[in-house]
Amino acid sequence: MISLSGIAAAALGGTAPVLHGVDLELAAGEQVAVIGASGAGKTTLLNLLALMQEPLAGRFALEGREPWVLTRSERRLLRTGIALAPQHPPLPPRQRVAVAVLAARLPRMSFGRALRTLWSPPDAPLAHAALEKLDLPDKLWLRVDRLSGGERQRVGLARLLVSDTRLWLADEPLAALDPARAERSLAALQKGAREAGAALVCSLHQVDLALARFPRVVALSAGRVVYDGAPAGLGGELLDELYRSQLAPMADAAPPAQPLPLPQAMCR
């Protein structure tokens, strides 16, 4: 479905390369977790896959076509087959949740149906079913600005569920969720992708979930792919390297010599 070879890419809005020599093959319907420390390039990779950023170098093919040699309108058409849930979904604050969810389908709708969807969505049951899978069925007609951060994030995931696309990209979709909700939401997302026959690429800081729930893990370090394969092959040493090597030791990490005095009220 997707083939990247020797890709260098800048972050959205940047010019200097933050991805270097990335090779990646993604088959239709495949599910892949992307892990790596903060700043490793996970968002940049997802934006690249979403055709939001042109690579600086290398070869990018999507379903046998090279998006960046197509005309702008051909590329826009190709993009309608891809859905991206950014870490902070840009949802208009006064919009109803139903409309915000169904907005994921707008690029593939006729002009008339798109207008109706924005005014009084005929596909509201579809949005309701998606929200139900993410434990949010009672929020359908609420305004987006009445949602908590975790609820907004799940609305972003509901957009993937209704998107009718073949490639789902989720950028840290669990960042604002408590552990139980995170697990349930990820399970709903993966099941939805399987049922829709869509490939799922998901960047995650929850390494335990990435290893437990995905058949394939891609690890990035400083913009390079340092591991691509089954979770079982990803050893503890490499994981330590991924998350520790970029951290300078804390200057004041030594514990205090004396225990800190607690207020009397906290000692009973």
Which spans of this chain sit near ligand ATP (rule: CB under 6 A)?
A: 11, 13-14, 18, 36, 38-44
Complex with ligand ATP: residue 13 or 256, whichever CB lies closer? 13
| Rounded-to-integer distance, Cα 204 and Cα 95, Å | 28
Q: Please, what is the minimum distance in Å from the beta carbon of residue 144 to ligand ATP?
A: 23
Structure tokens at 3: 């083939």
Tell me the closest approach of the beta carbon of residue 34 to ligand ATP, in angstroms. 8
Question: Would you state the structure tokens that stand for residue 87, as one six-digit string?
Answer: 């870490």
Q: How far is the CB of 28 from ligand ATP (least distance, A)?
A: 25
Sign of the C-alpha dihedral, residues 162, 168, 38, 58? negative
Q: How far is the CB of 2 from ligand ATP (least distance, A)?
A: 18
Closest residue to ligand ATP using C-beta atoms = 14
Question: In the complex, what is the shortest distance from the CB of residue 111 to ligand ATP, in angstroms, rounded to a whole number?
Answer: 33
Choose among 56, 74, 70: nearest CA to 4: 56
Between residues 13 and 259, which has the closer beta carbon with respect to ligand ATP?
13
Sequence-distant (6+) residues with CB within 8 A of 212 are 231
Helix and strand totals (H; E) in the chain: 9, 9
Task: Rank residues 127 and 220 by Cβ distance to ligand ATP and give the closer one.
Answer: 220
Alpha carbon distance 120, 142 (integer Å): 14
Report H helices in the chain: 42-49, 72-79, 97-102, 111-119, 124-133, 149-162, 179-196, 207-213, 236-244
Q: Minimum distance from CB of 38 to ligand ATP (Å)? A: 3
- In the complex with ligand ATP, which residue's Cβ is closer, 36 or 121? 36
Under 8 Å between Cβ of 146 and 154: no
Least Å distance, CB 208 to ligand ATP, is: 16
Closer to ligand ATP by CB, 106 or 222: give it: 222
Q: Which residues pair with 171 in a beta bridge?
A: 203
CA-closest candidate to residue 167, choices 68, 42, 50:
50
Which residue number, 18 or 100, has a Cβ lying nearer to ligand ATP?
Answer: 18
Number of other residues whose CB lies within 10 A of the CB of residue 28: 12
Judged by beta carbon, residue 121 or residue 173, the one nearer ligand ATP is 173
